[in-house]
Structure 1
Amino acid sequence: MRWRIAAVVAAAGLASACTTTVAGTPQPAPGRVTVAPASSTDPCTLLTTDEAADLGLGPGTPIPGQPKQRVPPGCDWKSLDPAASLDDSLQAYYGTDQTMAEYFASRPVGEEELGGITWQHYSSIMGDWLCNLAVELGETEFVVITSQNLGDPGKSCTVAERAAPVVAGHLPQR
């Protein structure tokens, strides 16, 4: 019986000798966004890594804004399907310094209710293979999600329409 008590005490001593407190806040692995910060204008926070994976997309990669061309910062999620190329990927842009009308310089061609909000559908000057869904958040604040399918333009909105309800959950309440 004594040897059992001695073994338990020794094991407890070894276990406590191997533990240390590390200062700081635990962080996910680089490139892994698991919870979107509240009220962020970072377009890569519009989908968590897990949400992107559920949509068949890889982790988001930031796209720098192009102020001279009036293109806001964005984020690119590529399809996890290696055969997809650019098809079935998703991009999001978060504008904060111009109106949605200034950004598109055209009228919407339709609208859809997705995720409890109304998204405006805009044609692309690039062609039907590119789909733009946009929502105005304020006078000079908006979000655009874009998907494309060069192989089958009829499917260009598939990924954007699937992502819109998830993205809507990360938008500020208006």
Structure 2
Amino acid sequence: MRWRIAAVVAAAGLVSACTATVTGTPQPAPGRVTVAPVSSTDPCTLLTTDEAADLGLGPGTPMPAQPKQRVPPGCDFRPTDPEADLDDSVQLFYGTDQTMAEYFAAQPVGEKELGGVTWQVYSSIMGDWLCNLGTELGETEFVVISGQNLMEPEKSCVVAERVAPTVATHLPPH
């Protein structure tokens, strides 16, 4: 019986000797977005790195605003499949200084309910290979999802529609 008690005491001593307290706050790897900020207008926070991976997309790459062209800041998510090229990529835009009608300068051609959010469907002046889904968050605040597929234009909305429900979870209530 004594040897059992001695073994338990020795094991407890070993376990406690192997633990150490590390100070600080755990951080994800650089460039890895794991939790979207509560109220951010950064389009790269509309999909976390893990969510993008689940959708077959790599981490988002920020795209600066182009004020002269009235293009808000964006974030480019490319497929992880190296054969995909630009097909099935998606860009997210978060506008805060114009209306969605001013941004598109066109009327929507349809509407889709995705992720509990109503998304307006807009044609692209670039052609059918580009699909735009937009939702207004306020008078001059909106989010646009642009999907593209050059090789199969009829599939340009597939990736945008697949991404929209996840993006919807990160939108502020409106």
**What TM-score does the superposition give when structure 1 sets the normalisation length?**
0.90
The equivalent residue for 2:172 is: 172
Q: Distance in 1 between matches of 2:79 and 2:86?
A: 8
The equivalent residue for 2:158 is: 158
Partner letter of residue 36 of structure 2? A
The equivalent residue for 1:56 is: 56
The equivalent residue for 2:90 is: 90
Cα offsets for 1:65-98 (capped at 9, x unmatched)? 2223222111111112111100001110111111
- Note the aligned Cα RMSD (angstroms): 1.7
Shift of 1:12: 3.1
Which stretch shows the higher mean deviation, 33-42 or 93-102?
33-42
Q: Distance in 2 between matches of 1:149 and 1:40?
A: 29
The equivalent residue for 2:106 is: 106
Shift of 1:2: 4.6
Shift of 1:7: 4.4
Kindly tell me the number of residue pairs found equivalent between the two proteins. Answer: 174
Report the identity percentage: 81
Q: Distance in 2 between matches of 1:9 and 1:43?
A: 55
Once the two structures are superposed, the pairs formed by residues 34-49 of structure 1 within 5 Å of their partners are 34-49=34-49
Q: Distance in 1 between matches of 2:140 and 2:49?
A: 28
The equivalent residue for 1:16 is: 16
Structure 1: gaps of 5 or more residues: none
Which stretch shows the higher mean deviation, 52-61 or 125-134?
52-61
Q: Distance in 1 between matches of 2:101 and 2:73?
A: 17
Q: Distance in 2 between matches of 1:119 and 1:43?
A: 16
